[in-house]
Amino acid sequence: MITQNISTSSLLLLKSRSYVELLKPRLSMLVAFSCAFGYGLASRTSLNWQVLSMLTVGGFLLSGASVCINQIIEKDLDKIMVRTMNRPIPTGRVTVNESIIFAIICLVLSLAILWVYTNPLTVVLSFVSMILYSFVYTPLKRVGPIAVFVGAIPGALPPLLGWIAYTGTITFEAMIIFGIQFIWQFPHFWAIAWVADDDYKRAGFKLLPSGGGKDLNTAIQIMIYTMFLIPLGLLPAKFGMTGLDSAIVASVCGVAFFAQTFSLMKTGSQQSAKRIMFGSFLYLPIVQIAYLLDKL
């Protein structure tokens, strides 16, 4: 009897871990943080911590539902890629029907939370974000590089959603923080696509620009979009959203991020692409935290 209980408990724990894995927690936490960042930057007076907390939870669940749907749609492709073959659905740890139910629950909970604690515009744009990511970007990955442009829209919406959650409107300032994260998506996406090119080719994904080659043309495009982040990072200070300190941090991070691209243009190596990929993971949260701290 004790052995059976232990076995049942272990199975439940493994199942729970598989469901958590479906949410891609690290990615979803980044989305949730970006939502909280937008809300915090928009606040002119003291924060409503209850709304901020629930916005963060809602953003996490929205991202979790979106990536879960993505994994359901790409379940057969995930089986043939090394980086994805051990995900819950390909390994059978979670069935497709279980994943569908789980995604629906996460989506409904997310929209309900956002409806109660934010405003209708935030809810509508959140739903649009999910549709764009799951049902437009996902199938376009096998069509061509246009997928990166489409995917950059929902990828850049979280800080905009946070701003709208506080203000209820889309303002010029909101579009600035949307624009920074939108442009950031391109070197971020392309660096990942460069590193995972062999896997992506197995699945028929076509995300790299310039004909899909890991060549100088692609490296130059990565460099150009990274370069755009340097002046864009100064706009919050220019328009009075933040101050000089965060402008300095954003500039230093932008220049450091930009400098990494020269190695890729020179060598075209996997190692150079990985440095850009990891650099992109560092750039966004560091700059966003600097903006928030500068506003205090």
pLDDT score of 84 more than 80: yes
pLDDT band at 2; cut points 50, 70, 90: very low
Given a contact cutoff of 8 angstroms between Cβ atoms, the answer to whether 26 and 105 are in contact is no
Question: Taking the CB of residue 275, how many other CB atoms lie within 10 A of it?
Answer: 17
Cα dihedral 4/10/11/15 (nearest 10): 160
Read off the pLDDT of each residue in 263-287 and give the average, rounded to a whole number. 95
pLDDT score of 46 more than 90: no
Q: What is the pLDDT of residues 227-262, one digit of tens each?
A: 999 999 999 999 999 999 999 999 999 999 999 999
Spans of all domains in the chain: 21-170, 171-296
Please state the pTM of the whole predicted model. 0.93
In three state form, how does the secondary structure of 268-296 look?
CCHHHHHHHHHHHHHHHHHHHHHHHHHHC
pLDDT score of 1 more than 50: no
Please tell me the CATH superfamily of domain 21-170, with its number: UbiA prenyltransferase (1.10.357.140)
Q: What is the pLDDT of residues 153-206, one digit of tens each?
A: 999 999 999 999 999 999 999 999 999 999 999 999 999 999 999 999 999 999
Read off the pLDDT of each residue in 260-286 and give the average, rounded to a whole number. 95
Question: Cα angle vertex 128, ends 125, 132, to 5°?
Answer: 140
Which pLDDT score, from 0 to 100, does residue 6 have? 52
| N-term to C-term CA, the chain | 58
Cα-based distances in Å from 255 to 39, 159, 232, 238, 269: 27, 23, 12, 18, 21
In the chain, % of residues over pLDDT 90: 90
Alpha-carbon radius of gyration of the chain: 20
Average pLDDT score, the chain:
93
More confident residue, 184 or 45: 184
Read off the pLDDT of each residue in 122-137 and give the average, rounded to a whole number. 97
